Structure 1
Amino acid sequence: MEGTTNNTGPGFVVVGVDGSDPACRAALWAAAEASRRDRPLHIVYGSDTDGRALYVSAESIEHVRQAGRELLGATADVVSGRFPGLSVDTEYSRSAPVPTLHRSAGLHGTIVVGNRGAGGFGSLLLGSVGLKVAAGARTPVIVVRGADNRTETGAVLAAVRDEHDLESALYAAREAELRNGSLRLLHVWNILQSVGNVVTLLDDVDQIAGLHVHHLNAVGEQVRQEFPDLTVRVDAEKSVSVAGVLVEASRHVDLLVMGGRRSPSYLGSTLGRTTHSLIHHAQCPVQLIPRTNHEHGSRS
């Protein structure tokens, strides 16, 4: 379909492709995710020909359209060959990749992107298009990272900062359940930041640490109540680098789930420092769960 948007419905998985190897890998990962969920896979190519029609020749635009349709067909063939029972459809859009993916996901779809793109015209490059997809999404976004030859364990890691991370922890629990695996809830306390905020109250550091653990345990208890058959491990660590601890922990799991906090910016939605670091350096795919309005402005 050209210039139209499918309502992919609850549980659909939407993946953006651009012909790059990371995007192809993301499509296969998205297919496996859709298969686990028993939901269709929607493969999208956003050509941005509408935005370039005034200064690109008609011949060039037709070439892009043909290449885009061929790419979608080839990707669908590869996915269907690997997952023969999976329902797969494709969408060629004349719009740019970012709005195309956001529209295609609707209110309930999950967007999957590769960790970098092909570059150039119509690319899906994390750091440009991919970052905008993640920063502006109102539905979950998964950035596919990590080595191709990883042995899957079913283990899922959820980064928990406070009680507002319950929703992302529950998403992580669902992912772990789909994988017949286990869930680790990890809270990393940046002790330098905490002490800096209470310079005159250094005697209260232990009390502050106890408060951090209290919030983590409360989230863990809620997750266990909703997923009583799931193995849930709850851990808290102190470090000067939250991102560093999470990157190291990501080496041992199949998926890292975290709330996609955003920082204020004159340029529009941007991802917080920790989130930005993880989608560039994590050793496994990273799933970002959108934040609610009262959390805007957090820099994590």
Structure 2
Amino acid sequence: MDSTFRTPDTSSVVVGVDGSQPARVAALWAATEAERRDRPLHIVYGADTDSRALYLPAETVERVRVDGRELLDDTAKAVSAAYPGLKVTTEFSRAGAVESLHRAGALHGTIVVGNRGLGGFNSLLLGSVGLDVAAAAMTPVIVVRGIDGAEETGTVLVAVRDEHDLLYARYAAREAELHKASLRLLHVWHVLDSVGEVVTMLDGVDAIAGGHAESLRAVTDAIREEFPDLDVRADAEKSISVAGVLVEASRHADLLVMGGRRVPSALGMTRNLGRATHSLLHHAHCPVLLIPRTGSDFGSRS
């Protein structure tokens, strides 16, 4: 057969490879996570030969197939050597990388991508495939960043805006338990959000700040009640740049968890991630776990 598709376990960790060094690093990082979760690892290569078969010589298409399967075999061998007890499956897909990863992730898998692929210029910015995977995913996506030479901090960081983020705080708490780490809930108050109120009611600044503190306190209390053995810290900061505060905080975290606050747009799915989320996927100093939002969540900002 020209293509092999093996449906992974519904709770498996799915990682995309393309021959780049960041993708190989992501595969080994994903293997660590799969072992930690006691789940299989599914390695995917999206060759995109179906869309290009009519425009490329047959020998070129065959070369892509051979190279893709060799890449999958080499990656699987490297993972198995490092994690001999881990169940590893591979998939060569004729579809593109984004479609292949979304299909493999299905509804319940966790998708892992590297911070940079083979295309484009060499930089720390997230590649287009990673952005498209994160923007359109209906399952958690982890972008592996900032792990080269980094020492573990023993902290999982979660961005909390209000009580509606309790779901994502719970997810982060479970991650902290898996990592045997502490949990830091960080609420960033954008000072310009309330500028109209402040101008017209200067004596209400304390009340506005108190409202933000109360939102964070409600989430924190719920997490401490549900996870009594977890070390939980909560902080609130005000800034003109939510993304800037979170990027700096990510220097001191092993994982940053965020709810993906997408907003509808005709300009492309990558713009649906929200400004802060988009910036963090490009600039965070640790891996970023993005939990997708659906339905009524689409109207909120990030």
5 Å-filtered alignment, 1:115-130, equals: 115-119=115-119, 126-130=126-130
Bigger shift: residues 159-168 or 276-285: 159-168
Equivalent residue for 2:143? 143
In 2, Cα distance between equivalents of 1:49 and 1:193: 47
Equivalent residue for 2:18? 18
Equivalent residue for 2:160? 160
Bigger shift: residues 55-64 or 203-212: 203-212
Are the counterparts in 2 of residues 11 and 37 from structure 1 also a CA contact under 8 Å? Answer: no
Shift of 1:227: 1.4
User: What do residues 154-194 of structure 1 show as CA deviations (whole Å, max 9, x unaligned)?
Assistant: 31000001112111111111111011110000000011222
Shift of 1:197: 6.0
Equivalent residue for 1:81? 81
Q: What RMSD in Å do the two structures reach over aligned CA positions? A: 1.6
- The answer to whether structure 1 residue 179 and structure 2 residue 165 are counterparts is no
Q: Which amino acid aligns with 1:288?
A: L
What is the TM-score normalised by the length of structure 2? 0.94
In structure 1, list runs of 5 or more residues that go unmatched: none
In 1, Cα distance between equivalents of 2:114 and 2:66: 22
Equivalent residue for 1:55? 55
User: What do residues 240-273 of structure 1 show as CA deviations (whole Å, max 9, x unaligned)?
Assistant: 1111111111111100001111132103432100
In 2, Cα distance between equivalents of 1:291 and 1:238: 25
Shift of 1:199: 4.0
Q: Which amino acid aligns with 2:300?
A: S
Shift of 1:224: 1.6
Are the counterparts in 1 of residues 117 and 127 from structure 2 also a CA contact under 8 Å? Answer: no
Equivalent residue for 1:274? 276
In 2, Cα distance between equivalents of 1:182 and 1:260: 22
Are the counterparts in 1 of residues 262 and 301 from structure 2 also a CA contact under 8 Å? Answer: yes
Equivalent residue for 1:285? 287
In 2, Cα distance between equivalents of 1:18 and 1:8: 19
- Indicate the SS of the match to 2:44: strand
In 2, Cα distance between equivalents of 1:147 and 1:196: 41
Bigger shift: residues 92-101 or 207-216: 207-216
What is the TM-score normalised by the length of structure 1? 0.94
Equivalent residue for 2:170? 170
In 2, Cα distance between equivalents of 1:92 and 1:40: 17
Shift of 1:231: 0.4
Shift of 1:276: 0.6
Equivalent residue for 1:202? 202
In 2, Cα distance between equivalents of 1:2 and 1:206: 65
Q: Which amino acid aligns with 1:287?
A: L
- The answer to whether structure 1 residue 72 and structure 2 residue 69 are counterparts is no
> Residues 126 and 51 (structure 1 numbering): CA distance in 2 closer, same or farther, change over 3 Å?
farther
In 2, Cα distance between equivalents of 1:4 and 1:135: 26
Bigger shift: residues 75-84 or 266-275: 266-275
- The answer to whether structure 1 residue 295 and structure 2 residue 266 are counterparts is no
> Residues 186 and 2 (structure 1 numbering): CA distance in 2 closer, same or farther, change over 3 Å?
farther
> Residues 294 and 4 (structure 1 numbering): CA distance in 2 closer, same or farther, change over 3 Å?
farther
Q: Which amino acid aligns with 1:253?
A: A
Equivalent residue for 1:236? 236
> Residues 15 and 203 (structure 1 numbering): CA distance in 2 closer, same or farther, change over 3 Å?
same
In 1, Cα distance between equivalents of 2:288 and 2:196: 30
- The answer to whether structure 1 residue 102 and structure 2 residue 113 are counterparts is no
In structure 2, list runs of 5 or more residues that go unmatched: none
Aligned residues: 296
User: What do residues 101-154 of structure 1 show as CA deviations (whole Å, max 9, x unaligned)?
Assistant: 01101111000000010117xxxx934111110000001000000041111133
Equivalent residue for 2:221? 221
> Residues 193 and 11 (structure 1 numbering): CA distance in 2 closer, same or farther, change over 3 Å?
same
In 2, Cα distance between equivalents of 1:62 and 1:182: 49
Q: Which amino acid aligns with 1:243?
A: A
5 Å-filtered alignment, 1:21-60, equals: 21-60=21-60
Shift of 1:216: 1.1
> Residues 246 and 94 (structure 1 numbering): CA distance in 2 closer, same or farther, change over 3 Å?
same
In 2, Cα distance between equivalents of 1:138 and 1:263: 14
